[in-house]
Amino acid sequence: SGIPVIKEPQFTMITKDINGSEGPVFDTKGRFYAVAPMEAADENREPGQFTDGIAGKLYQVDLDSGVKQVVWTPHFDGYGGRPAGCQSDHEDNIWIADMRLGLLKYNVEGNCKQFGKVDTDGEPLNGGNDLVFDRDGNLWFTGPGSPIAPSPEDRETIFTEPSGRIYCLPKGGEVPIKVDDNFMFCNGIAVSGNMLLVAETVKNQIIAYDITGPGKVKNRRLWAKVPKPAGNGGPDGMDFDETGRLLVANYGASHIEVYPPGGSQEPIVRLKCPFKTLSNLHFARNSNICYVTEHDNGGVWKFEWDCKGAPMYCDT
């Protein structure tokens, strides 16, 4: 394996001040959303609302003007959320992996839903971090750490103990299936054909599985190693391009790491970014323009890749 090629694309900032900027996504109408998991609740809120002060938000962003508006502040049974990953389905529902509330569905008409406080084993669901539909419409998501509210939030042992789990909500299902566990902060997740990839942030690696059915996998294996940042961080959100290469937001490392379709011990290309803490990326539909979220500025940026992104489930 050779030395990775370093490239420095031209990045353009779209907007900023989305606290903990994450979850960039397009619906089928071209509407763009991102989430702010780190936003706090209003000091003078009603008693019993946003009990622990957490009030993450879903934003819609106008990509021409950069103007952003809050379209949803998730709240269930007295608790707010920390929305992280987002995906759209064919009906333009935005499905959200939420670190406090698990798995959520936002509907433009306002018919929002929380899916399952427990998994099919009856165990409390871990908070969700990122998610992806396979080609059959099953929804796979990562649950890196502590159980959802009302359990107290844990932002420490989730990085030091292998408490991360992978889940799948079968198409049309109501209760997530626990697929696998024993991850050190499982984070980004991506699908290509019947291959499922999971970023294991703390171990700076990407794990692959073969999907054999809804909630069923085999052949867990190391697929890629990710360059370790100087401080905390590692592989975060990731997506495929149309040639089957994987683009990975390497949080804390100021680079998007690019891997060949079969994975590798190191990236083949490193894309240098004008920010350090990139959290996720998502291609515009049928386009080579890639949108990136980052925590330095709470920003959303765009750059041009050398080919189009792979179609997402909602594009097919």
* Residues marked as catalytic: 295
Instruction: Say which residue the tokens 């932002």 belong to.
Output: 155
Q: How far apart are CA 227 and CA 211, in angstroms?
A: 27
In 3D space, the residue among 276, 259, 189, 186 whose CA is nearest the CA of residue 225 turns out to be 259
Q: How far apart are CA 310 and CA 215, in angstroms?
A: 23
Ramachandran angles phi, psi of 215, nearest 5°: 75, 10
Q: Do the strands 177-183 and 186-192 form a parallel or antiparallel pair, or are they unpaired?
A: unpaired
Q: How does DSSP assign 111-155, residue by residue? A: --EE--SB-TTSPBPBPP--EEE-TTS-EEEEE-SSBPTTSPP-S
Measured on CA atoms in the order 273, 278, 281, 284, is the torsion positive or negative? Answer: negative
Tokens of 22: 């994450």
Q: Are 207 and 200 in contact (CB under 8 A)?
A: yes
Q: How far apart are CA 272 and CA 51, in angstroms?
A: 40
In whole angstroms, how large is the CA radius of gyration of the chain? 18
Residues 6+ apart with CB under 8 A from 64: none
Angle, CA of 273, 277 and 280, to the nearest 5°: 80
